[in-house]
Amino acid sequence: MSDPLDSAYKEFIAECEEHIEELYRNIDELESAVSGGKRIDPDVLNAMFRAAHSLKGVSGMFGFETLSKLSHDLENILDELRLGKRQATQTFIGHLYDAVDALRKILAAGKEDALSDEVRREAVNIIDQLMKTREEESPKGIEESGYDVPERIVSVMTEYEEHRLRENMRMGMNLYLLKAVFDLEDFDERLNLLNERIKQDGGEVISTLPSADEVEPGKIKFELLVGTESALEEVKKKLSDFKIEIEELKKKAEVPPAPAPPVEEKPPPPPTETPVHTTQFLRVEIYRLDEIMNVVGELFLARTAVGRLLERWKREGKDTEDILELERIERSMERNLNDLRERIMEIRMIPVKSLFDRVTRAVKKIAREMKKDIVIEYSGEETKLDKFIIEELMDPLMHIIRNSIDHGLESPEERMLAGKPETGRISLLAYQKGNHVVIEVEDDGRGIDVEKIRAKAVEKGLIGRGEVISEEELLNLIFMPGFSTKDEVSMISGRGVGLDVVADKIKGLRGIVEVKTKKGEMTRFVLTLPMTLAIIQALLIKIGEREFGIPITAVHETIEYESSILRAVEGREVVLLRDETIPILNLEQMFSFSTDGYEPRFLIITGMGDRKVGIPVTDLIGRSDVVIKSLGGVFKNLKGIAGAADLGEDRIVLILDVTSLLEEVVRV
Amino acid sequence: MERKKKVLVVEDSRITRDLIVATIEEGTGAQVVQAENGFRALKLIPAEGPFDLMVFDINMPDINGLELVRFVRESEHLRDVPVIIVSTEGKKSDIQRGFQAGADDYIVKPFSTEQLLNVVKKYLGNR
């Protein structure tokens, strides 16, 4: 495929994904309205219809027939829903989720000829099922009373707008025709504001029409058809800061009052309230930000080089005015570069809410399918994390949760006997901890049986019979490949894919996963992740003649190294620090190089989550901003190394991967 | 030299809009101004006009295409600009509605680029 086609194709997929997300978002809204017994916002139903409509349109244009056909079916169903010809029952919503899942699966195939018959058939069945899920129409009861809505407005209404008009009539709402003149420049903001105001009042803008009436240049007139419970006087009061003409539309039977002479169109007053900004978005692929970040990394190097040059000149006594001036420029450059870096980072950061929503959706689906009684809740959803990391977290989180549903949460009978509420609970929590983001997944199930793990570990030969091993270490064994305590194959978590996959994935994101449990009460998985992978500050150290970098976020503290602070526990070297026993890891042993007789002078205490390790080093060089580049080929999976960073002047350092170093210590 | 023809395209799907714009630009050499919704179009009409042709989608979030057509037809200085509706709504009643609102032509999606180009040329050539 040639390049322009390829990029148009990517755009196509991206747009389809947006529509699918929009569908999910609105089904979520609908679900919570229906399950909470609240009024369904017509905008939600309309947005859902529009998303299916757009999906149909765009997939049709791109020749993705199956996707187009099925989203067309979905569109028709959603059209009936928004037109009040279908009822949104729980069963219907369940099938609706399935239908969107099916569409997403089809989209994943990428194009028509890559689509398997199986996926297609399945999707057709699901949509068929949805089509058949049809409750009796709700009785309309009240007769639609005729209002005197001007023909010129009715004639350009879409079917949906007509439906909304009828609904408003049926509910006995008062109908008003609003006429307003706005500046061309900000009429959209003003209209949005007006719309919001009417909605707050429980009303609805049924139709918005630009009017062709002659107005001053630079201005535009609109007519709005509004339905609301409020009486004319109230509406006038609520909208008093808008320069508008309000006309009440009377029922046909009533004699309309003589129309008031049209008010002279005066220019609207300057807005007194804070204008609502219609935000404009630009979608960019995330790798573009990476590219920019790389350039910023290069700029940092250039700045460092300038700094070094200045240092040298000063050392050599060339302390002229020019050099001082240059120093000022250099400092301002550094400030701006830091600012730039921060801003790019901010762009990459998004709240974890989107992830939590997706997980919640998936859990509800599993619960429905398995007819299990599970509630899922989350908090801390505003916590921000790198978008790339968020995308990568869906699978591991779902894996953990499937595990909880499968092994953790007991049957209702079992829970009753244990004196717990029948409904099992899964809670997600996110928060920031220093430079890391922590995500916790907790279930209130039976907990992990540590003794069972011990037995299994002995059976698998991972530990010796009677070997003394802490509970924490035992629990960590569940992340080992091939480790599973439940023998039967499960429908949800399956066999063979264990929690080691989760641990690997999190490690790949330079994070760590830990587990805590209380028998009979709960199991909690704690994921600690860096906020971003893009650019980091590294502490540069020397071991012998060799330089390494350690991500500064993973450095707890640096202490002086003396052999007197070392102890040995079961043959392992440790350091006692404020009642904590921290294992020591010698990098020269791990990577088998020689320190050429240099003695360690400092001990770096580094770690993640609750785990720490001490690394003896010869020298501390300083800190530096680095962009980590992964090592290619055979070195790619080198234990203990996250990648390399260019420091300029032909200096390349290896950046240590703290997560895998911690693992080394456990395994020693 | 004759002035370059100018076309306004209003369509909320980015990818479909791109396709329409590229087809018209490459196929007729006309200059195309594009809007992602009706509000934007209302701003562009006085700012970028006059236009020789307008192409509207119907189903759009703020104001719909039919309302736009009516606006064009009733505006003193826009009255004669030909308008083509491009919509996925292909029922007879939908098309009827489009014509009633004042559209000159109606194309049902999905369409081929040739189809679109034939219709567009018909209106650009006549003026």
Q: What is the pLDDT of residue B110?
A: 81
- Last residue of some domain: A496, A530, A564? A530
Task: Classify residue A546: in a domain, yes or no.
Answer: yes
- pLDDT confidence band for A136 (50 / 70 / 90): low
Query: Per mean pLDDT, which range of A2-16, A335-349, A526-540 is the poorest?
Result: A2-16
Task: Classify residue A328: in a domain, yes or no.
Answer: yes
* Domain hosting residue A638, numbered range: 536-667
Tell me what the mean pLDDT of segment A255-284 comes to: 49
Phi, psi of A83 (to 5 degrees): -90, 5
A175 and A315 fall within a common domain: no
Residue of B nearest to A49 (CA): B59
Whether the predicted pLDDT of A4 surpasses 60: no
- CATH number for the domain that contains residue A634: 2.40.50.180
Any catalytic annotation for residue A65? no
Q: What is the pLDDT of residue A638?
A: 77
A541 and A497 fall within a common domain: no
Amino acid, single-letter form, for residue A498: G
Q: What is the pLDDT of residue A666?
A: 61
A37 and A104 fall within a common domain: yes
- CATH number for the domain that contains residue A417: 3.30.565.10
Q: What is the pLDDT of residue A275?
A: 42
Strands A580-583 and A572-577: antiparallel
> What is the per-residue pLDDT across A274-303, written as a single tens digit (0 to 9) for each?
444 444 567 777 778 878 887 887 788 788
A334 and A455 fall within a common domain: no
Tell me what the mean pLDDT of segment A411-425 comes to: 89
A541 and A508 fall within a common domain: no
Tell me what the mean pLDDT of segment A450-465 comes to: 81
Tell whether B127 lies on the interface with A, counting CB pairs under 8 A: no
Out of B18, B46, B64, the one facing A158 most closely (by C-beta) is B64
Domains in chain B, number: 1
SS3 category, A546: strand
**Could you tell me if the ipTM is greater than 0.95?**
no
> What is the per-residue pLDDT across A379-405, written as a single tens digit (0 to 9) for each?
999 999 988 889 889 889 988 998 888
- Last residue of some domain: A513, A530, A547? A530
Task: Classify residue A278: in a domain, yes or no.
Answer: no
A120 and A161 fall within a common domain: no
- pLDDT confidence band for A150 (50 / 70 / 90): confident
8 Å CB contact between A648 and A301: yes
A80 and A170 fall within a common domain: no
Tell me what the mean pLDDT of segment B86-91 comes to: 82
Q: What is the pLDDT of residue A48?
A: 92
Tell whether B21 lies on the interface with A, counting CB pairs under 8 A: no
A559 and A662 fall within a common domain: yes
> What is the per-residue pLDDT across A557-588, written as a single tens digit (0 to 9) for each?
999 888 888 888 777 888 888 888 899 998 98
Whether the predicted pLDDT of A162 surpasses 90: no
Q: What percent of chain A has pLDDT over 70?
A: 88
- CATH number for the domain that contains residue A66: 1.20.120.160
Q: What is the pLDDT of residue B53?
A: 94
Task: Give how far A10 is from chain B: nearest CA, Å.
Answer: 10
A328 and A411 fall within a common domain: no
A409 and A440 fall within a common domain: yes
Question: In sequence order, what are the residues at sequence separation of 6 or more whose Cβ sits closer than 8 angstroms to the Cβ of residue A153?
Answer: A177, A207, A209, A223, A225
Mutate to test the interface with A, among B19, B23, B67 (most CBs of A within 10 A): B67
Q: What is the pLDDT of residue A358?
A: 86
- pLDDT confidence band for B127 (50 / 70 / 90): very low
- pLDDT confidence band for A135 (50 / 70 / 90): low
Structure-model confidence comparison of residues A322 and A377, the more confident one: A377
Any catalytic annotation for residue A80? no
Task: Classify residue A208: in a domain, yes or no.
Answer: yes
Structure tokens at A209: 């029409």
A156 and A128 fall within a common domain: no
- pLDDT confidence band for A256 (50 / 70 / 90): very low
Q: What is the pLDDT of residue A63?
A: 83
Whether the predicted pLDDT of A263 surpasses 70: no
Out of B42, B69, B109, the one facing A61 most closely (by C-beta) is B109
Q: What's the rounded Cα separation, in Å, for the pair A424 and A419?
A: 12
Query: Per mean pLDDT, which range of A35-44, A543-552, A611-620 is the poorest?
Result: A35-44
Out of A57, A68, A209, the one facing B63 most closely (by C-beta) is A209
Whether the predicted pLDDT of A147 surpasses 80: no
- Last residue of some domain: A497, A530, A563? A530
Whether the predicted pLDDT of A120 surpasses 50: yes
> What is the per-residue pLDDT across A478-514, written as a single tens digit (0 to 9) for each?
888 777 655 434 444 443 347 888 888 888 888 889 9
* Domain hosting residue B63, numbered range: 6-125
Task: Classify residue A260: in a domain, yes or no.
Answer: no
Task: Classify residue B1: in a domain, yes or no.
Answer: no
8 Å CB contact between A659 and A512: yes
- CATH number for the domain that contains residue B27: 3.40.50.2300
CA end-to-end span of chain B: 15
Structure-model confidence comparison of residues B49 and A93, the more confident one: A93
Tell whether B43 lies on the interface with A, counting CB pairs under 8 A: yes
Q: What's the rounded Cα separation, in Å, for the pair A192 and A271?
A: 13
Any catalytic annotation for residue A403? yes
A506 and A598 fall within a common domain: no
Q: At what angle do helices A353-370 and A3-35 cross, to 10 degrees?
A: 60
Whether the predicted pLDDT of B59 surpasses 70: yes
Strands A522-530 and A651-656: unpaired
Out of B18, B63, B110, the one facing A210 most closely (by C-beta) is B63
Domains in chain A, number: 5
Tell me what the pLDDT averaged over chain A comes to.
81
Mutate to test the interface with A, among B10, B23, B39, B93 (most CBs of A within 10 A): B39
